[in-house]
Amino acid sequence: MNRDKKKFRSIKVKILLATIPIVFIAVTALNTISYFMSSSIIEEESYNILDASAKSQTAQIESWLDDNLKIFSTVQKALGSTDYSEKEIKKILNQYYQFNSNFSEGLYVADLNGKIITAEGSNRQDSNVKSSQWFKEGLTHINMRYGEPYKDSNNNSIISATGLLVNNGKPVGVVGADVKLDRISIIVNSLIDMDDAQSFLVDKDNGTVIASSVESLKINSKLNESSNKFYDNVLKKIDKNQYDSENIDENIVKLMDIKETNWTLVSYVPEKSIMSSVNSLKVYIVSVALIAIAIVSLVIYKSVGSAVKPVKDISNKIVKMAEGDFTVDIEVKGNDEISIMAESLQKFITSMRAMLNDIKDISVQQKEQAQASDNTSKTLFDASKHQSEAMKNLNIVVSDLAESTGEIAGTATNLAGIVSDTSDNGDKVKVKMNEVVNISEAGKKDMSYVSNAIDTIQSSIEQLQLTIDEVGKSTKEINSIVEIIGDIAEQTNLLALNASIEAARAGEAGKGFAVVATEIGNLANSSASSVNDIARIIENINKLVGNVINEVHKSVENVNQSTSLITNSVSTFDKIYLNINESNKLVNIMLEKVTNVGEAADNMASISEEQAASAEEISATAQEILEHSEKVTKGSKAVAKDADSLSETASTLEEQVGKFKL
């Protein structure tokens, strides 16, 4: 397909169209993977943070409760080891009054009858101790432990720690302390390390809220009385002891039991809060991806432009070479495949310049030789033409000689009858004989001219034959050079094929080089086609030269035959000339010796007959020489025509080579 008819698209555009979508897909895929991995990591980290926060809160609560219980247990042991008297009990209770802000009222003791003993300054009052919750709880266990939370008279959230008081191995009452839940609420509210995270402490036996950071969830409220589905599902998980971190109603939830209590700490964070971070991360990743794609695209554009620039230069040079311009030079830079291709192409240009210069010189030389052959053929044609005219003149002279000889024979026959007129006629005979002598001399000169012309024709034909032989040698040399060019074109085509194979092995990275290899292959094919055209022209030249050689050989044979005939004619004319001279002498003798006229007449008749026969032979020979001369003329004309054709072929070859700019 013609390159002009096919829509042009540069290698740079092709590489960009191939790489930028891949980069876009790769960056998008990488960012997508990063997004999902980051989302998974953030979610996992959220679980870990929530778990750590819940453990920290649980540890804080357990530590706080345990510290209080240790104090309470110490007081319990101290009370159990003393004499059970109100005085001793008050003494110990007074020591722990205002001792700790968590239980600022200190401890208190109620005997089995419901009488309550408190520290001095305590404002604690109970109307019916035995029916109170803390008293009933204290009777059920020896060690100090916490009961259920409740509101005191001042509407404070209180939880009582109670235990059975044993003195001398006998239960004598209940030891108790009222602990404010403010510290637990602080712990529950302050130890969450995540935004929008919430937590609350619930009694898993009855669903009572002990502490809460949730505004809508009040202390001492009941979860099982709430219409909130999330709280119901949390209670179900607590009942089933499913304390693993999991997603409950779009909330990440962590459940932790508080040791030595029936309490469960519920920590949770809404999933949308985590996803807001993920969405922010998504926007950030998309922004980074777009910037990365833009930067990578710009880098690829610059890199491809820098890499393709020498290929573009080579491509433009190849286009000029395809148009016949071999004045271009390719600059070789670097040590990569493109530089190797450029170096090889520069060597090819140098070789083509040398070969085209050689072909141009040979074509000029062939043209000069063709012109010389044309001039020689024209000279040969003119010489043969002159020879033909000379032979026609010779034929006329021979005819005149034959007529004269006939007249001499008639005169000699009648000589015996007109002896009386011998003196008068003798002068006439002498005149006639002088004319014959002159005519013979002219014929002899004409024959010499013919012989010289034939020699000239023979020399010219031999020179033409040598010239044509030189032309044949030149065409053979051209044919050898054309074969070399064909081999180079074939090697170049093979090189282009190998380059295409290597480019195919290289995959996408080698596509640019596959296009250049294709262009080189096309150039090699074009060179091979031109070589075939030159070979075909040279073959035609060889055929024409062969035809000229055959015609020249025929002309040489005809000229040689003509030369032989003309040599015989010259010899015959010499004999005629001698005979005519002898006749002249005889006429003179006849005039001198009229008395011997009879014998002279007889001798003259005999000689005249011989002259007539010789004249007829000369006439026949002259006619044959004339025919051969006409053949030589026709051959010369054919040689001239072939020389013209050879000259036109040389001009065509010169014109073809002239298309290349060197």
Residue 142 corresponds to which tokens in the numbers above?
A: 């020896």
Count of H-run helices and E-run strands, the chain = 10, 10
Q: Three-class SS of residue 635? A: helix
pLDDT for 175: 93
pTM over 0.85: no
pLDDT tens digits, 28-66:
888 788 777 877 777 777 778 878 888 888 888 888 888
Average pLDDT taken over every residue of the chain: 75
Residues 310-330: pLDDT tens digits? 777 777 778 877 777 778 787
- pLDDT higher than threshold 60 for residue 212: yes
What confidence tens digit (pLDDT) does each residue in 233-273 have?
Answer: 888 888 888 777 778 888 888 888 888 788 888 888 888 77
Question: Which 3-state string (H, E, C) describes 364-404?
Answer: HHHHHHHHHHHHHHHHHHHHHHHHHHHHHHHHHHHHHHHHH
Name the 3-class secondary structure at 335.
coil
Q: How far apart are CA 476 and CA 478, in angstroms?
A: 5
Please, what is the Cα angle at 38 between 32 and 44, to 5 degrees?
140
55 Rama class: left (phi>0) / alpha (psi -120 to 50) / beta: alpha
Confidence of residue 460 (pLDDT cuts 50, 70, 90): low
Residue 75 Cα distances to 92, 119, 132, angstroms = 8, 13, 22
Q: Which two tokens stand for residue 628?
A: 């051969």
The rounded distance, in Å, linking the Cα atoms of 176 and 129 is: 12
Under the banding of pLDDT at 50, 70 and 90, the label for residue 643 is: low
Q: Does residue 198 contact residue 268 with C-beta atoms inside 8 Å?
A: yes
Measure the CA–CA gap between 270 and 259, rounded to whole angstroms: 27
Question: Within 13 Å of residue 145, how many CA atoms lie on the same side as its CB?
Answer: 17
CA-CA-CA-CA torsion for 404, 406, 407, 409, nearest 10 degrees? 120
Q: Tell me the fold of 451-591.
A: Helix Hairpins (1.10.287)
- pLDDT value for 433: 62
Beta-strand ranges (E) seen in 249-314 are 251-257, 263-270
Q: Is the pLDDT confidence value at 419 over 60? A: no
Residue 320's Cβ-count burial label (10 Å; 0-12, 13-18, 19+) is: middle
Q: Which CATH code fits 23-276?
A: 3.30.450.20
Question: At residue 93, does pLDDT exceed 70?
Answer: yes
Q: Which of residues 112 and 279 earns the better pLDDT score? A: 112
What is the reported pLDDT for 1? 42
Angle of helix 11-81 relative to helix 182-190, nearest 10 degrees, comes to: 170
Percent of the chain having pLDDT more than 70?
72
Distance, in Å, from the CA atom of 523 to the CA atom of 321, rounded to the nearest integer, reads 8
Q: How is residue 357 written in tokens?
A: 């210069």
Rounded mean pLDDT of 223-237?
Answer: 83
- Cα separation values, 196 from 187, 193, 218, Å: 16, 9, 18
C-alpha dist (Å) from residue 362 to 82, 357, 368: 141, 8, 10
The CA distances from residue 163 to 83, 97, 136, 235, 249, in Å, are 18, 18, 10, 29, 41
Tokens 């993920």, residue located: 278
Residue 618 contacts by C-beta under 8 Å, 6 or more apart in sequence? 398, 401, 569, 572, 573, 576
Cα-based torsion angle of the residue sequence 49, 55, 61, 66 in order, rounded to the nearest 10 degrees: -160
What DSSP element (H or E) covers 95?
helix 86-95
Residue with tokens 């700019």: 661
Which tokens in the block code for residue 622?
A: 């002259």
For 163, list phi and psi in degrees, rounded to 5: -165, 160
pLDDT at 464 > cutoff 70 = no
User: Is 229's pLDDT higher than 50?
Assistant: yes
- Provide the β-strand partners of residue 109: 117, 175
User: What does the domain layout of the chain look like in residue ranges?
Assistant: 23-276, 451-591
DSSP state string for 446-488: HHHHHHHHHHHHHHHHHHHHHHHHHHHHHHHHHHHHHHHHHHH
pLDDT at 303 exceeding the cut of 60: yes
- What pLDDT score was predicted for residue 405? 62
